[in-house]
Amino acid sequence: MNQLLAQLPVGLSIGAVLLLAALGLNFTFGQMGVINMAHGELIMVGAYTAFVAQAWVGLPSSYALLVALPAAFAVTGLLGLALEAGLIRHFYGRPLDTLLLTFGIGLVLQQLARDVFGAPNVSVPAPPWLAGGLTVAGMHLPYARLFILALAAACVAATAYYLSRSRSGRRMRAVIHNRDLAAVSGIAVRRVDAATFFLGSGLAGVAGVALTLIGPTGPTTGTNYIVDAFLVVVVGGLGQLRGTVLAAFALGLLNAMVEPWSGASLAKVVVFAAIIVFLQLRPQGMFTVRTRALT
């Protein structure tokens, strides 16, 4: 029991990282059907944005993180918008083609990162106010992981508010639910697609900044999370925010609880097996869009 309690904060922090990685992917995949394999490289760009803010710009570590978060959102959002407008929009409705296209884009971005920053991993020092942690009921809770949890909660709250309260968010929900009906109703679907890709890519950049708090940054940083992020989206349900939240923390906790007894590799096998069993029982995911049909 003590070991399970010790793994609880680890599982929650893994779930928070998966949630940040999958949050933006959920809407681009759920709305446009784009299998964006370059989403991991957008996470990597966000992580390098934090590195640039400290190592190149020279911002003090005490507040560089707070500057890097909005900067990474803007940089990766604009990059994703440029990729969508220049390349990806020509392949809508062709999922396998988007998979191959974005996989190639990801390789280009990885090589570009190696040319600019070098192949070795780089570290981004955490701000002094995130040093140390709390001890609650025998569990050690590092401030850095608590910050990631708070950041994930803030991103979910902001996304939920955007989807439910803003006009552009309601248009996005309409396109996710029924793309053709939204188009004939007068919604500029093309504009909504661009806004969705900007939002999803920006959230990937925020996830990259969060990853700098728990490990080094390298050209393949995002690749380690892209498969798990897709699994979170599929298990939670396409376009379903609450499903993404529940699936991310469920997979993070399952991985953290199994890993101490089985090792990292076998823990992945157990998680994949659990996902396969779940999808056999509920292939549509935890939540799905309810529609009316004539009978």
Average confidence (pLDDT) over 154-182: 87
pTM of the model: 0.90
Residue with tokens 């309690």: 5
Average confidence (pLDDT) over 275-284: 86
Nearest to 173 by CA among 155, 157, 189: 189
Please determine, for residue 188, whether its predicted confidence score (pLDDT) is greater than 60: yes
Average confidence (pLDDT) over 188-209: 90
Report the mean per-residue pLDDT for the chain.
86
Q: How far apart are CA 256 and CA 17, in angstroms?
A: 13
What sign results for the dihedral spanned by CA atoms 46, 49, 55, 59? negative
Lowest mean pLDDT among 73-77, 177-181, 285-289: 285-289
Of residues 135 and 153, more confidence is placed in 153
Residues 6+ apart with CB under 8 A from 31: 172, 175, 176, 179, 192, 193, 196, 239
Indicate the pairing of strand 133-136 with strand 139-142: antiparallel
- DSSP-assigned states of every residue in the chain: -HHHHHHHHHHHHHHHHHHHHHHHHHHHHHHH----TTHHHHHHHHHHHHHIIIIIS---HHHHHHHHHHHHHHHHHHHHHHHHHHTGGGGTT-HHHHHHHHHHHHHHHHHHHHHHH-SS-B--PPPGGGSSEEEETTEEEEHHHHHHHHHHHHHHHHHHHHHHHSHHHHHHHHHHH-HHHHHHTT--HHHHHHHHHHHHHHHHHHHHHHHTTTS-B-TTTTHHHHHHHHHHHHHH-TT-HHHHHHHHHHHHHHHHHHHHHH-HHHHHHHHHHHHHHHHHH-TT-S---------
**Is residue 12 a contact partner of residue 250, using CB atoms and an 8 Å limit?**
no
Please determine, for residue 291, whether its predicted confidence score (pLDDT) is greater than 70: no
Average confidence (pLDDT) over 236-249: 86
Token pair listed for 112:
């570009």
Please determine, for residue 169, whether its predicted confidence score (pLDDT) is greater than 70: yes
So what's the pLDDT on residue 295? 44
Distance (Å) of CA 61 to CA 16, 55, 218 = 23, 10, 19
So what's the pLDDT on residue 215? 86
Lowest mean pLDDT among 8-17, 21-30, 207-216, 255-264: 255-264
Tallying the residues shown for the chain, one arrives at: 295
pLDDT, tens digit (0-9, with 9 covering 90-100), for 92-104: 878 888 889 999 9
Token pair listed for 242:
């609450």
Please determine, for residue 262, whether its predicted confidence score (pLDDT) is greater than 80: no
Average confidence (pLDDT) over 263-288: 83
Average confidence (pLDDT) over 258-270: 78
pLDDT, tens digit (0-9, with 9 covering 90-100), for 103-121: 999 999 999 999 999 999 9
Average confidence (pLDDT) over 198-208: 92
Please determine, for residue 175, whether its predicted confidence score (pLDDT) is greater than 70: yes
Q: Where are the domains of the chain?
A: 2-223
Nearest to 273 by CA among 260, 254, 256: 254
Q: How far apart are CA 113 and CA 107, in angstroms?
A: 10
Q: How far apart are CA 89 and CA 202, in angstroms?
A: 18
Average confidence (pLDDT) over 170-190: 85
